[in-house]
Amino acid sequence: MMDIVDCDRTHAPAILAIFNEAIANSTALYEYTPRTLEVMKAWFDDKEKGGYPVIGAVDAAGTLLGFATYGPFRVRPAYKYTVEHSVYVERSHRGKGVGARLLTTIIERAREQEYHTLVGGVDAENAASIALHQRFGFEYCGTVRQAGFKFNRWLDLLFYQLLLETPAHPSDGEAR
């Protein structure tokens, strides 16, 4: 059994563990240094300030299996209907449908908040993430070659996007 919940600061240690495992062992994050609980406090502050969801998949015992979120794609006002999302699954639960449940929910939340475009940046070697995004209708929209350098090699960053039918009435202007 798996439930989807809204994460709060009590989930920070579990989210931190998932982040730090990905930093240490994968190219899912183009970072070198493990994050700290202090960094997670600022991360949650930014999510709350922007009204961005942080959702988690939990088992019957309440253990966090993975999480997903989104945030601004770019800071200029004309990008106000575009968000960049991320989905992370705890290592022992990958390939079990957790990522799919999280991505489904993130797409629903983006619709509810009337965003128009979801963008995902995926390392070119992350076949599982590429397949997940394609399964949900995300289209490949470009490669930034050698965007990162980690584990003594250059990394290519692929972008996938999903266009939503929202918002009903987009408008120019600063505020969203």
pLDDT of residue 1: 84
pLDDT of residue 173: 79
Which domains, from first to last, does the chain contain?
3-163 (3.40.630.30)
pLDDT per position as a tens digit, 21-51: 999 999 999 999 999 999 999 999 999 999 9
Instruction: Pick the closest to residue 94 from 128, 123, 121 (CA basis).
Output: 128
The percentage of the chain sitting over the pLDDT mark of 70, rounded to a whole number, equals 99
The percentage of the chain sitting over the pLDDT mark of 90, rounded to a whole number, equals 96
Distances (CA, A) of 82 to 44, 47, 93, 119: 20, 15, 29, 7
pLDDT of residue 42: 96
- Give the up-direction half-sphere exposure of residue 133: CA atoms within 13 A in the CB hemisphere: 26
pLDDT of residue 53: 98
Confidence band, pLDDT 50/70/90 cuts, at residue 155: very high
Residue 176 has pLDDT above 90, yes or no: no
Separation CA 139–CA 23 (nearest Å): 26
Task: Summarize the confidence of residues 89-115 as an average pLDDT.
Answer: 97
Instruction: Pick the closest to residue 122 from 31, 28, 32 (CA basis).
Output: 28
Does this model's pTM top 0.85? My answer is yes
